[in-house]
Amino acid sequence: MTNIYSILRQFAHIGSSRVKLAALWTMHILHKRYLGVFVDPILACNYRCRMCYFSNADERKKRRGRLTKEQIDHIAQSLFSRTLKLQIGCGAEPSLDMDGTLHLVRQGKRCGVPYIAMTSNAVLLTYERLYELVEAGLDELTISLHGVHRETYQNLMGETADYDAFLNVLQAIKKVKETFPAFDVRVNYTMNADNVDELADFDRLFDSIPINQLQLRPIRRIGESDYTNFDLTHVSECLETVVRPLAERCRQRGMTVLFPEHIHIERFEKTAQTSPRENLIPLFTYINITPMSYPRHDIHMEEETYEDYCRRKHIGRRLFKSIFASQKACANEELSLTNSLNYDIR
């Protein structure tokens, strides 16, 4: 039988949001996996990146707590049978709670989640810790990086940043990949006016490190932060002179590079929104869980499965109606609009 996940991925590139919703409804009624479950096992960070809300003392006070292993078990029992991707680390640093993170990975693997990923600044991931995570079932590590050169790294990633520890992690990754060559490593680089030029040296830093993907994101405001230069003019100028040449060099090494086009940056700065029907897709597929949101989550994970939740919230009926509903009717669904940014892939 044709792999339905491949079909859905193909539908994701089709312009019609009706087609995407129809594919999603089909997967729902066939009891297939389509959920993206995003979990922060702990709300804390060892870094004070200047572009992040953890650089702000007041913001740090608002984000506290960690999930217990029992809560993680409830999440797994409730959601993982329908989870297509488990993302660990969304707005905090998961390696600060290695027990909880490792337990999440193992539960995801036990429940057959096809893809398990983690986002981290990575400096706490020794070779032994990373090896244990990958052996347990971690498929991908995304490293958050804001500077190629030592001075820029230390400046933008805050007073607690440790460039030497970062270099050590790169060597640990190289060693782990020798045992687990299918393990994917992605670098997520947030571009701003102060760090975009040094991307010209990115492939020198990673010359012997087997990175699979490089994703280049323009800076955006995410809560109150220490860094305040959100002007994308210089970033836009460097797309042709720095980013495209880097993307070509990386492509020749077998690395995928994702970066925005000029016109998309302009749209991004204007905070354009997609259509109400398009915005319904995250509503039905995206579940974010943190130690703070867990007790008040719409899904009562301690007492109901995702199937129970779908019956209670009439998810199948709502999905089906959304295929044919007007844009105005779609806009009435409860969801948080998000700003999207399209990428070119090299």
Q: How far apart are CA 6 and CA 1, in angstroms?
A: 11
pLDDT, one tens digit per residue, over 23-73 is 999 999 999 999 999 999 999 999 999 888 888 888 888 888 999 999 999
**35-39 and 213-218 as β-strands: parallel, antiparallel, unpaired?**
unpaired
- DSSP code, position 253: T
114 to each of 140, 142, 177, how far by Cα in Å? 12, 17, 20
User: pLDDT class for 268, splitting at 50, 70, 90?
Assistant: low
Domains by residue range for the chain, with CATH: 4-345 (3.20.20.70)
pLDDT score, position 267: 59
Angle ∠(168,173,179) on CA atoms, nearest 5: 135
Q: What is the pLDDT of residues 318-328, one digit of tens each?
A: 999 888 877 76
Expressed in angstroms, the distance from the first to the final Cα of the chain is: 31
pLDDT at 16: 78
- Tell me the sheet residues that pair with 257: 214
Q: Report the pLDDT averaged over residues 212-233.
A: 89
For the chain, the 3-state helix, strand and coil shares in percent, each to the nearest 5, are 50, 15, 40
Q: What is the pLDDT of residues 72-108, one digit of tens each?
A: 999 999 999 999 999 999 989 999 999 999 999 999 9
Q: Is the pLDDT of residue 9 over 60?
A: no
- Cα(141)–Cα(161) distance, integer angstroms: 19
**Mean per-residue pLDDT for 173-189?**
97
pLDDT of residue 262: 75
Predicted TM-score (pTM) of this structure: 0.88
Looking at residue 59, its pLDDT comes to 83
Rounded percentage of the chain residues whose pLDDT exceeds 70: 86
